Amino acid sequence: MANENGGDVSERKEELLHSIEEDEEELLEAMHELAEATEQKLDISQYIRPHPYAWIAGAFCVGLWLGMKNDNKEFGYLPASIAPRRLR
């Protein structure tokens, strides 16, 4: 029975070592893929060029959204000629 337990332990140890080697290979492969992805430059123009008007409309909407100040949807910025003299 001692041999069986000893055999089971050595088999389990071999399985764990094999599993660790496989995991190490997968990790190295993932690291290489990540390194390749970071080396590629992001060229925004390749996304904008096919549909420039959609991007302009999107930028306008984002600017409008960021320009909103209050929950009641009043504009947060008013030109000096329209802005009240004193803010409450």
Tally the residues of the chain.
88
CB atoms within 10 A of CB 48: 13
Question: 12 in a domain, yes or no?
Answer: yes
Residue 86 covered by a domain? no
78 part of a folded domain? no
Over residues 28-78, the pLDDT tens digits come to 999 999 988 887 777 888 889 999 999 999 999 998 888 876 555 555 566
3-state class (DSSP) for residue 68: strand
Distance CA 51, CA 45 (A): 10
Cα–Cα distance, 82 to 8 (Å, whole number): 85
Is 73 within the bounds of a domain? no
Number of domains in the chain: 1
Structural domain of residue 15, as residue ranges?
A: 2-67
Residue 83 lies in a domain: no
**pLDDT number for residue 67:** 80
Residue 54 lies in a domain: yes
pLDDT at residue 16 is higher than 50 = yes
Instruction: Return the pLDDT at 1.
Output: 45
Is 75 a domain residue? no
Least Cα distance to 63 among 48, 76, 45, 44 occurs for 76
